[in-house]
Copies of this chain bind each other. A is one copy, B any other.
Amino acid sequence: MASTQRSSSPGRSPRNRASGTSTRVPESSWDPADEITVDHSSPVPLYYQVASQIEAAIDSGDLPVGARLGNEIDLAGSLGLSRPTVRQAIGSLVDKGLVVRRRGAGTQVVFNRVKRSLELSSLFDDLAAVDQQPTTRVLVNEVRSATDEMAHRLGVAEGTELLFLERVRSARGEPIARMRNYLPVTLVQPSSAVLEERGLYQLLRSEGVRLHAAHQSIGARVAEQADSELLEEPVGAALLTMDRLTYDQAGTVVEYGSHVYRASRYSFDLSLRGES
């Protein structure tokens, strides 16, 4: 996830690890049967009901870091579900990096809040989420025919009509980024007024476009005269650049974005999980 202002304290997580000598964890016996309820008549999958309730317990602190979830078989029994269902629920939490399973040892909570691994979210949503009052100024909103390079990038025929957007995004009145986007005209054709109120991804989603994956490239360069004027940053200041190609579920390119951020006001924060 991306956040405004340089993250000043990345690691403030309180550690209470039991290692070496037998420093026992309080083990405040969190009884799942008291906390989790499943509704068989609900259309939402049972494993999902279980997973989200455990996740909520982790968020609320009822399940602190290091706490053990009961074993899968007992859990299944006390919830009136089968083990595969409970296992699927826990599995989804493992995928999110919230808990760790070790055979023979059980399942433990590792983070009480992993910043969800750099979600496919837009700058607008990110800023709105932390109450940074995002605003947008639309500089260009027009249809252009694809140049050779753009056609290549988006995987369309040369000369195809593309919507070209150029916007400046601000937070609390201060400019944060200059954003350029190219997307097929067939998807959306928003008015500038709409673009000033909502983020592009929000718009695409409301049109039923399902964002599925993206390739990003993050780099840096120094501000030139044009950047300087738009971003209120002196010439020669450090800028972050981000190029992003976004795909829908069918693997078709939905959007190409080329953005520039003020490094003094912005950094990319992301979490990632490893191997096993």
Q: Which residues of A contact B (CB under 8 A)?
A: 6-7, 9-15, 17, 19, 65-66, 95, 97, 100, 102, 108, 110-111, 114-115, 117-120, 152-156, 210-222, 236-240, 243, 245, 247, 249-253, 256, 263, 266-276
Q: Are B217 and A268 in contact (CB under 8 A)?
A: yes
Extra 17 A-B pairs, beta carbons < 8 Å, given A212-B274, A213-B271: A6-B219, A15-B156, A15-B253, A17-B251, A95-B95, A100-B251, A108-B250, A110-B247, A110-B249, A110-B250, A114-B213, A120-B275, A216-B270, A216-B272, A218-B240, A220-B240, A238-B239
Q: Which residues of B contact A211 (CB under 8 A)?
A: 274-275
Q: Are B11 and A152 in contact (CB under 8 A)?
A: yes
Counting from the closest, the 7 A-B pairs by CB-CB distance are A120-B274, A220-B220, A220-B263, A219-B267, A110-B251, A15-B155, A220-B238
What are 28 contact pairs spanning A and B, CB under 8 A?
Answer: A6-B219, A9-B152, A10-B153, A10-B243, A10-B245, A11-B256, A12-B152, A13-B251, A15-B252, A108-B250, A110-B212, A110-B247, A110-B249, A111-B251, A118-B270, A120-B274, A210-B275, A211-B274, A212-B274, A215-B269, A216-B270, A216-B271, A216-B272, A218-B240, A218-B267, A219-B267, A221-B263, A222-B237
Nearest-neighbour CB distance to chain B for A161, whole angstroms, equals 16
Q: Which residues of B contact A221 (CB under 8 A)?
A: 238, 263
Interchain CB contact (< 8 A) of A119 among B15, B114, B115, B274: B274
Q: Which residues of B contact A267 (CB under 8 A)?
A: 217-219
Q: Which residues of B contact A273 (CB under 8 A)?
A: 120, 212-213
CA A196 to CA B213, docked complex, whole Å: 37
Interchain CB contact (< 8 A) of A15 among B111, B114, B251: B251
Q: Are A11 and B115 in contact (CB under 8 A)?
A: no
Q: Which residues of B contact A118 (CB under 8 A)?
A: 270, 272
With A14-B155, A220-B220, A238-B222 as contacts: A117 and B272 at CB distance below 8 Å: yes
CA A19 to CA B155, docked complex, whole Å: 14
Q: Which residues of B contact A249 (CB under 8 A)?
A: 100, 102, 110, 276
Closest chain B residue, CB of each to CB of A246: B274
Closest chain B residue, CB of each to CB of A121: B274
Closest chain B residue, CB of each to CB of A112: B251
Residue among A108, A117, A272 having the largest count of chain B Cβ atoms under 10 Å = A272
CA A10 to CA B12, docked complex, whole Å: 36
Q: Are B152 and A250 in contact (CB under 8 A)?
A: no
Nearest-neighbour CB distance to chain B for A236, whole angstroms, equals 6
Q: Which residues of B contact A243 (CB under 8 A)?
A: 7, 10
